[in-house]
Amino acid sequence: VTVEGQCYHKHCFRCAYGGCALTISTYASLEGVIYCKHHFAQLFKEKGNYNHLLKSVSMKGHSAVTQNQAEQQETPQETDES
């Protein structure tokens, strides 16, 4: 199976979050990471941000982004208005 420019064995084409078996019609992807549509909806539509996933993915060794970096991106920068 070839998806998003990557080739997968049928038994290796699985959701990065839950490990669910995927088909061409049941996958979704974000930034090259493959998910089942169910977990994609849970992770991205309900919460409205990606920070919780960055922690999960980095724990699995798929990302070098740390939770601290994710929190810094989420926190608005303060400015001195004197």
Residue 29 placed within a domain: yes
Domain-embedded: residue 55: yes
Q: The tokens 């839950």 sit on which residue?
A: 18
Does residue 81 lie within any of the structural domains?
no
Q: Is residue 19 part of a domain?
A: yes
Please write the tens of the pLDDT for every residue from 21-61.
999 999 999 988 999 999 998 888 755 566 666 655 554 44
For residue 38, what are the domain limits? 2-74
- Unique residue bearing structure tokens 């941000």: 49
CATH at 26: 2.10.110.10
Structural domain tally of the chain?
Answer: 1
Tell me whether residue 80 is in a domain. no
- Nearest CA to 42 out of 33, 55, 52 is that of 52
pLDDT classification of 4: cutoffs 50, 70, 90: confident
What's the whole-model pTM score?
0.54
Q: What local confidence, expressed as pLDDT, does residue 48 receive?
A: 56
